[in-house]
Chains A and B, each alone.
Chain A
Amino acid sequence: MRSELHVTGMPPAATWPERLQELASRWHGPLSPDEREQVRSEIWVLLVGALDLKLRRQIGRNADVDAELSYDLAMQRALDLFSRFARGQWDPRSTTAAQLQSYFTLLARNGLVDHLRSRAGRGRLGERSLEACPEAAAAAPADELVVHRSRLAEALAACSGRLTRRARTAWFLRVFYDLSSRQIAEHPGVDMAPTAVDMALSRARRAIQDCLREQGFDRADFGVGVFTACWEAFHRAGGFGDGGSESEER
């Protein structure tokens, strides 16, 4: 199975509500099982993502958002919404894109309010501090550093390209998203047993560290821009679905 780390299919829509409406139209039309699964997956990811986005905004974009809290709340609301969608009780096409935005904002607000009503929720959020977002110019690295990190990203992409696709995807999910072995194991781009993930990650880390060291990099070089460059390089190369040899893992 190909990884789902990149979006495929229809041409890009401008906003997520429009995309959601497109997907809903596809869902209600004739689809092969694979296509339906893909649409279902993308609807799900959009629901969770959009609700998470709204929750972050409710909490405060510049706050040190508890990512797990935001995700958990988004997940809860998305499950309800998806259930209603699948049962035909809610259709994103029945409203405008702007109304969808408002509706999701409301769902997020309600989710947060519900959470805040619990003692645990108050304690968890109360620890967060709000900080002003520094201007981009202040945070921007020097040109040399940008170039250096761009090269590092290219090196990372090249080094990880020596891995199998699944190992590469697992490595990316761990290094950049800090997903657990269980989550990585169940990611559609990996689909391995958790123990196999641990082994694959161990081998991948060692291989990439050795590869980077050969090219004069080490992990201390990671910083602003590396994730973006890696993300871009990986997706430019066909996401996580191309390259590598599956036979290495067999």
Chain B
Amino acid sequence: MDETQPRHPDDETVFALVHGLLPGAERERTLDHVRTCADCERLFRDLSRVREKALADGPPAVAASRPDESPSNRRRTRRAWALAAVAAGVAWLLVWFGAAEFGEGGREPAPYWLPTSLEVAVERSADAGVPPGLTTALAAYEQRNVDRAITDFLNLELDGGWADLRDVYLCSALVNAGRYGEAAVVLDRLDVPTLPHDSRMAARWCRYVVLEVAGRDDEARDVLVAMRDDPGPVGERARAELAGRSGRHQGKPMSVNPDQ
């Protein structure tokens, strides 16, 4: 090899330069080379561009997201996750939908745990057995082991009605764990009006909690109103919530679809 020829820094070194990881002398040596090498400078510029784009798109806010995020970060976060959900087709990647509202003083209704009888699941699919993993996930949910249940539900790859069932329980678990942004995402992919009655009511309850915690009082109330005539446990809760709200809120006509 011709020792007089300058050696190209490898791409890891250029990457380290971009990200400020090189110690002083190596940084200077690399810069000295890069500024005289068209290809290296192009790589340097490309990698710098990726860094700035990633900063602009912002990190996703997930379960560990905090209410002290700045508005700008929240804006970027929502878009970043929305992009991922479309591009990657990974529906449960956590779009921090409406994250701006969570953690800003909304009231948290008491946790509501859905019944977990597998009869609910079995009746959804008379001609097939319960998918592997669902029983385990439901058992964790029933035991109020919410983190485990969430993890198990997230790892369940299901289709059709089973996916809906998983999402209803996942949403409930997320809400009960205080992970409202993620619950909102799960709700977003559920076609609530088409769900069986019990699942539909459970999903509506989740939506109510998410809206309530977000401080979106009018929409939360509308969902309660839509549930109050249901004879089941969710209707009972809705009536109790409405009664509790009567002193806090003025009655208003329903203005939105409770499932949207």
Contacts and interface: CB of A to CB of B under 8 A. Distances in A.
Interface of A: 1, 4-8, 12-16, 19, 33, 36-37, 40-41, 43-46, 48-50, 52-53, 56-57, 61-62, 65, 67, 70-72, 74-76, 78-80, 82-83, 86-87, 89, 133-137, 139-141, 146, 173, 176-179, 183-184, 186-189, 191, 224-225, 227-229, 231-232
A49 B69 contact: no
B257 interface: no
Say what secondary structure dominates the interface of chain A.
Answer: helix
B83 interface: yes
A16 B16 CA distance: 7
Nearest to A65: B46
Interface string B59-87: 11011111011101101100111011001
Interface string B35-72: 11111110111111111111111111011111011101
Nearest to A190: B56
Contact of A15 (B12, B46, B94): B12
Q: Which of B41, B50, B72, B83 has the most CB of A within 10 A?
A: B50
A136 B6 contact: yes
B33 interface: yes
A188 B241 CA distance: 41
B250 to A, nearest CB: 35
Interface centre among A78, A83, A178 (most CB of B within 10 A): A83
A74 B68 CA distance: 27
B60 A136 contact: no
B253 interface: no
Given A49-B50, A86-B63, A183 B45 contact: no
6 contacts: A12-B16, A16-B19, A37-B66, A48-B51, A140-B36, A188-B73
Main secondary structure of the interface of B (DSSP, over half): helix
Nearest to A149: B35
B56 A179 contact: yes
B58 A186 contact: yes
Given A12-B23, A16-B12, 7 more contacts: A44-B54, A44-B59, A49-B47, A76-B88, A80-B88, A224-B37, A228-B41
B104 to A, nearest CB: 15
B126 interface: no
Contacts of B33: 136
B64 A86 contact: yes
B90 A19 contact: no
